[in-house]
Amino acid sequence: MTYFGGTCDVAVIGAGHAGIEAALAAARLGMHTILFTINLDTVGNMPCNPAVGGTGKGHLVREIDALGGEMGVAADHSCIQYRMLNRGKGPAVHSLRAQADRRKYQEYMKHTLELQENLELKQAQVVEVLVEDGAAVGIRTQLGAEYAAKAVIIATGTYLDSTIITGECVIPSGPDGMHPSIGLADNLRSLGLDLRRFKTGTPPRINRRSIDFSQMELQPGDETVEPFSFKTGHKVNNSAVCHLTYTNEKTHEIIRANLHRSPMYDGSITGVGPRYCPSIETKIVRFADKERHQLFIEPCGLDTEEMYIQGFSSSLPEDVQIAMMRTIPGLENAEMMRPAYAIEYECVDPTQLLPTMETKVIRNLYGAGQFNGTSGYEEAAAQGLIAGINAALRIQGKEPFILTRDTSYIGTLIDDLVTKGTNEPYRIMTSRCEYRLLHRQDNADQRLTHLGAKVGLVSEERLREVEEKYARIAWEVKRLESNGVPGSPELNAMLEAKGSAPVANSARLADLLRRPNITYGDIAPFDVNRPDLPASVTEEVEIQIKYAGYLARQEKQVREFKKEESRLLPEDINYDSIPGLRLEAREKLQQIRPMSIGQAGRISGVSPSDIAVLLIWLESR
């Protein structure tokens, strides 16, 4: 029996990190939005590592924040240890990571959703997307309620037909023992979506009181803490520490002796797992020559004794996990509170999506997060934000919002998914972004705040603040380029102490700052007219001066990229009718249906000669 549950503009299925950003974006753009979740207690859950950011991922969080998303704000209300990764390298790869208080993060996000105007939060399992004339028109729940909607966003995470696997124990389950989503996957297949099975996993959790930290290396947070959100006004603090320990040959012996009981190697697991976050048993097999592997012992929160063992993901039986753990320094007497497990789930082939996150098969149906084949909270949140924005714009009859790879990490992430697809859970990395010196985490506000304001998620006041900040940066760069400092014994002493050549007569301040070992702070005593500027401004000034040549080179590359992206391909093009295209290229182009010559050139299986044929065909039209 079914009954009419109500009407909304946007229905979002799943209240994880993708669903949260999608629902908030749609509601803040004036859409009556309903966010459905199997269990209200899992809103914003972190079933794997309770952390935000990391290499490449920290860039995504800053970009989400600049566009008007919520993840960075939530992190700064709930994170307990901040660390800037890759400080020993250039600014392009500096990435903020913070350990989160898992429950505080959830509480913040759930309360934010509950308070949001135009947004309803409902506990219900969605089993069907309702479709009429090739377009999504609503959803139906397990209890028979039908809701009419103008757009539907699928953000099911790892719940879709999910199975938990621990050794020989295989049970239908979502993360953390929650109910899986049953029925929706079959419905989506019947609608023409191509689903595949992926896998991820999580390590054991242990009780803090049973850990001997004296045998481990202390991993403190940064002395100077930077927040995720550009809008955070309160001081963020480090209120927790992490520790580092290692596996050893005894650990590896136990794993090797029990590989026959591993679902990874006995055929029980059929889903494809993430290459960049392998289980401990996969590490032992793949890197057989390594004597040890790092394990980070990280707190799950301030009001719990539960600790997370990062790097110890496994699907081995529970008794084997305990035996492995007993061999690790500091964990000899550790009490396991939750065993590690692998989880398999259904997700879509992302090449069936447009860059707006709308499916090519069903109009007004969008995908976001791990449903799109990605891995990670940050990747999920980024896609959710874009899906929510585009669902709202579609309903309002406005132009779609598309981030291209020359603008951001989010643009790179989405372009990789919809153009190249993925045969494993996709994870963002700095190496995936060819313009990473331009797309640093520190300048995400400059790159994207104006776009967030144009869409309607960023206030005019916030936009003015960003414009004023970068006007001050430009003014200070110009001042340093225009002003010099006379040579002096004090200046030369500082330069020689830094391993730099002395100044004979005088030098421009900008030229001094360009020297490799000289910082903005180093030249302060000799810069008599220096204004009092915040660290966020001086950091940008130093980067712009030191890397001016490299930045100019990447800006030129971006201009070339835009030329190719501006050569649009007709939506109704029939690639089978274009003579000269190779068979593989025809198949790939028909499947992906690229929007531009640039995108066509990034498709695997499309060669430069195929692009030349396309260009000739375009010219003939």
∠ CA 56-59-64, nearest 5°, is: 130
**380 neighbors 374 (Cβ within 8 angstroms):** yes
pLDDT at 278: 86
> Quick one: which H or E segment has residue 165?
strand 163-166
Stretch 430-448: mean pLDDT: 96
pLDDT for position 405: 95
State the pLDDT at residue 258: 94
Summarize pLDDT for 538-597 with one digit per residue, the tens.
999 999 999 999 999 999 999 999 998 999 998 889 999 899 999 999 999 999 999 999
Six token digits for residue 361: 């098969």
What pLDDT does 70 receive?
Answer: 98
Rounded mean pLDDT, 404-413: 96
Three-state secondary structure of 503-564: CCCEEEHHHHHHCCCCCCCCCHHHCCCCCCCCHHHHHHHHHHHHCHHHHHHHHHHHHHHHHH
Q: How is residue 374 annotated by DSSP?
A: B
pLDDT the model gives residue 619: 87
Predicted confidence at residue 66, as pLDDT, reads: 98
- Architecture of the domain spanning 464-554: Orthogonal Bundle (1.10)
| Ordered alpha helix ranges (H), 275-429 | 280-286, 318-325, 377-395, 409-415
Cβ contact 334:325 at 8 Å: yes
Query: Are the CB atoms for 95 and 84 separated by under 8 Å?
Result: yes
For the cut 80, the answer to whether the pLDDT of residue 436 exceeds it is yes
Residue 64 has pLDDT above 80, yes or no: yes
| Alpha carbons 265 and 405: distance in angstroms, whole number | 38
Residue 289 has which token pair? 């020559």
User: Within 313-355, where are the H helices?
Assistant: 318-325
pLDDT tens by residue, 41-61: 999 999 999 999 999 999 999
pLDDT digits (tens, 9 = 90+) for 271-303: 777 777 789 999 999 999 999 999 999 999 999
Euclidean distance between CA atoms 315 and 203, whole angstroms: 9
| Residue 243 banded pLDDT, cuts 50, 70, 90 | very high
Q: Check pLDDT > 90 for residue 421.
A: yes
| Neighbour tally for 22: CB within 10 Å | 38
Mean pLDDT of all residues in 176-187: 96
Check residue 411 and give its pLDDT.
97
Q: How confident is the model at residue 620 (pLDDT cuts 50, 70, 90)?
A: confident
Two structure tokens written together for 415 = 């372009």
Confidence of residue 477 (pLDDT cuts 50, 70, 90): very high
CATH of domain 567-620: 1.10.150.570
CB 548 within 8 A of CB 425: no
Which amino acid is present at 266? D
pLDDT band, residue 618 (cuts 50/70/90): confident
Q: Decide: 306 and 208 in contact? Cβ < 8 Å.
A: yes
Mean of pLDDT over the chain? 95
* Contact call for residues 207 and 334 (beta carbons, < 8 A): yes
Give the pLDDT band (50/70/90) at residue 270.
Answer: confident
DSSP element (H, E) containing 587: helix 583-592
267: confidence class by pLDDT, cuts 50, 70, 90: confident
Identical fold, 205-341 and 567-620: no
Q: Is 197 in a helix, a strand, or coil?
A: strand
Q: What is the pLDDT of residues 329-380, one digit of tens each?
A: 999 999 999 999 999 999 999 999 999 999 999 999 999 999 999 999 999 9
Q: Please give the pLDDT value at position 268.
A: 73
pLDDT above 90 (res 499)? yes
Cβ neighbors of 150 (< 8 A, separation 6 or more) are 8, 9, 10, 137, 364, 395
Cβ atoms of 610 and 581 closer than 8 Å: yes
- 349: Cβ contacts below 8 Å, ≥ 6 apart: 193, 194, 195, 196, 373, 421
| DSSP H or E run through 452 | helix 444-455
H helix intervals, 311-397:
318-325, 377-395
Res 334: pLDDT: 97
The structural domains of the chain, with segments of one domain joined by +, span 205-341, 464-554, 567-620
CB 480 within 8 A of CB 513: yes
SS3 141: strand
H/E element, 537: helix 535-546
* Cα gap 179→321, rounded to integer Å: 24
Per residue in 96-118, pLDDT tens?
999 999 999 999 999 999 999 99
**Topology (CATH) of 205-341:** Elongation Factor Tu (Ef-tu); domain 3 (2.40.30)
* Per-residue pLDDT tens over the stretch 447-476: 999 999 999 999 999 999 999 999 999 999
Q: Please tell me the distance from the alpha carbon of residue 83 to that of residue 294, in angstroms, as a whole number.
A: 17
**What is the percent of the chain with per-residue pLDDT over 90, rounded to a whole number?**
93
